[in-house]
Amino acid sequence: MPETSTVLRIRPLDELDISAIIRIDEKISGIYRPEVWETRVMYYTRRDPGASQVAEIGGRVVGFMLGDLRAGEFGLEEPSGWIERFGIDPDHRGKDLGRRMFDAIRAHFVAEGAKSVRTLVDTNDHGVAGFLRAIGFTPAPLQALELRL
Ligand SMILES: CC(C)(COP(=O)(O)OP(=O)(O)OC[C@H]1O[C@@H](n2cnc3c(N)ncnc32)[C@H](O)[C@@H]1OP(=O)(O)O)[C@@H](O)C(=O)NCCC(=O)NCCS
């Protein structure tokens, strides 16, 4: 039996996880932004309960992956899962936690009838782009456009 402090668990996101996510994001980005995460976590727990996931080690949340099922947006009638934000505490990377959270959110999307999973990535962010490639994402024919204001 492993020690309690090393027990790994992937489970659905809960509203009580907000403070842990604020802490992980601050560790990654160096920015403390509670309002941003309060809004995002409330949005995802209400919009698609059970989709977004967190990773716990010894009962402490060390990673999160937020997403939801969508259909009809941008003329995409086929239901697809969308992954928006994710992060793993830098002290707990390389332990398959990102992949395991993705497996869990993906299983949820499949159960909801999704035919694909979509996301947007900044191709200059080599870490995130490399992770997405490693878990199976490939470039899509859809292209993100923007017009600066
Ligand atoms: C990208 C990130 C989620 C990876 O998490 P992780 O738990 O360390 O990844 P895993 O251990 O599950 O790795 C899964 C696969 O991705 C690959 N991978 C992970 N990080 C990678 C990187 N930086 N470059 C290339 N591949 C990478 C692994 O090699 C592994 O591939 P394999 O199974 O073929 O060996 C994590 O580094 C992170 O949180 N980055 C910062 C994200 C961010 O900026 N978030 C801002 C807040 S939204």
pLDDT band at 74 (very low <50, low <70, confident <90, very high): confident
Cα(71)–Cα(103) distance, integer angstroms: 21
Give the residue carrying structure tokens 């995409």. Answer: 76
> Ligand 1 centre from 93 Cα, in Å?
7
Residue 4 has pLDDT above 60, yes or no: no
What is the tens place of the pLDDT at every residue in 29-48? 999 999 999 999 999 999 99
pLDDT band at 76 (very low <50, low <70, confident <90, very high): confident
Residue 2 has pLDDT above 60, yes or no: no
DSSP state of 65: E
| Ligand 1 lined by 129 (C-beta under 6 Å) | no
Q: Which domains does the chain have, with CATH numbers?
A: 4-134 (3.40.630.30)
| Ligand 1 lined by 70 (C-beta under 6 Å) | no
Note the pLDDT of residue 61. Answer: 98
Write the residue with the smallest CA distance to atom 46 of ligand 1: 87
Buried b / exposed e across 102-141, counting CB within 10 Å, b at 16+? Answer: bebbbebbeeeebeebbeebeeeeeebeebbeeeebeeee
Write the residue with the smallest CA distance to atom 18 of ligand 1: 131
The pLDDT mean for the chain works out to 95
